[in-house]
């Protein structure tokens, strides 16, 4: 089956942009303020505008992921419109939860900066941890959909005939690991002693599968989008590039 290289190119570029924004906002900035509740509030106050930039980076990442889903639908709907629609639904659901959940993060930032002047000093000691926990729980809820959308993506890759089948298998495996992490957080916290070692092994495999799946998907989309298609005349290639 042939494919729309322009849709693949758009999907790859938007997905790459989402990854860059997420790495900055969720890994770099949030990593700099990690710690217990008191330490986190202190570090957030010390970072000044950087924490707000991380907040904005995460939001822009969500917007880029929505654009990625739209381009993937255009690319894969000729393969199977039902699975392509399911991919978009899961992405929209995850982005909706994650976007709204950022309001909890904004409250935490304002508490750290002392923006609520009318709040009693003792009140912040229990309100801030409450919103920190709400933010963490919201991110885990969104994580269920970060895994679920990889399932239709993997199925579409397997069915397409133009994408590498191993990539489809890795995407489906990454979906499974996302869901294991989700259920572990809400049902097995703390995990029973008998599951500590199996879960530690699963966490290692989880990281490998997620990195391989998402970076592999970005790389293939960009390669497919910018590849000079065999069998096309120079005129056709020129039209396709427009």
Whole-number pLDDT of residue 116: 67
Return all residues near 71 (Cβ < 8 A) that are at least 6 apart: 7, 8, 10, 11, 14
Q: Tokens representing 154? A: 């993997």
Select from 93, 27, 21 the least CA-distant residue to 58. Answer: 21
**Can you tell me the mean pLDDT for 10-21?**
96
Q: What is the pLDDT of residue 1?
A: 67
Residue 215: name the closest of 178, 161, 174 by CA. Answer: 174
State residue 46's pLDDT score.
85
pLDDT in tens, 73-93: 999 999 999 999 999 999 999
More confident residue, 229 or 233: 229
Q: Kindly indicate the confidence band of residue 205, based on its pLDDT and cuts at 50, 70 and 90.
A: confident
Task: Give pLDDT, residue 238.
Answer: 46
Alpha carbon 112 to its chain's center: 26
Query: Whole-angstrom Cα distance, residue 75 to residue 231?
Result: 20
The DSSP secondary-structure symbol of 135 reads H
Tens-digit pLDDT profile for residues 143-199: 899 999 999 999 999 999 999 999 999 999 999 988 888 887 777 767 666 666 666
Average pLDDT, the chain: 84
Enter the pTM of the model. Answer: 0.84
- pLDDT at 96 > cutoff 70: yes
Measure Cα distances from 152 to 14, 133, 166 in Å.
18, 31, 15
* pLDDT > 90? residue 67: yes
Alpha-carbon gap, residue 12 to 71, rounded angstroms:
9
Q: Domain locations in the chain?
A: 5-241
43, pLDDT greater than 60: yes
The closest alpha carbon to 105, from 178, 44, 46, 147, belongs to: 44
pLDDT of residue 121: 58
Integer Cα distance of 41 and 128 in angstroms: 8
At 65, list the tokens.
């992921």
Question: Measured between alpha carbons, how far is 41 from 163 in angstroms, rounded to an integer?
Answer: 46
Question: What pLDDT score does 234 carry?
Answer: 44
């Amino acid at each position: 089956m042939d494919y729309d290289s322009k849709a693949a190119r758009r999907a790859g570029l938007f997905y790459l942009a989402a990854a860059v924004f997420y790495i900055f906002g969720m890994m770099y900035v949030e990593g700099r303020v990690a710690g217990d509740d008191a330490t986190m509030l202190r570090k957030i106050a010390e970072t000044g505008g950087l924490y707000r930039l991380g907040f904005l980076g995460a939001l822009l990442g969500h917007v880029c992921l929505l654009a990625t889903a739209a381009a993937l639908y255009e690319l894969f709907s000729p393969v199977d419109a039902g699975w392509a629609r399911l991919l978009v639904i899961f992405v929209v659901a995850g982005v909706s939860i994650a976007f709204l959940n950022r309001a909890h993060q904004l409250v935490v930032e304002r508490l750290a900066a002392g923006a609520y002047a009318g709040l009693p000093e003792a009140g912040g000691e229990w309100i801030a941890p409450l919103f920190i926990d709400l933010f963490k729980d919201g991110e885990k809820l969104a994580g269920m959909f970060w895994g679920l959308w990889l399932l239709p993506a993997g199925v579409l890759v397997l069915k397409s005939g133009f994408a590498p089948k191993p990539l489809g298998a890795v995407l489906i495996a990454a979906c499974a690991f996302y869901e294991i992490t989700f259920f572990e957080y809400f049902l097995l916290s703390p995990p029973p002693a008998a599951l500590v070692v199996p879960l530690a092994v699963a966490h290692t495999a989880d990281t490998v599968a997620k990195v391989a799946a998402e970076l592999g998907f970005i790389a293939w989309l960009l390669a497919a989008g910018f590849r000079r298609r065999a069998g096309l005349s120079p005129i056709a290639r020129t039209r396709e590039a427009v």
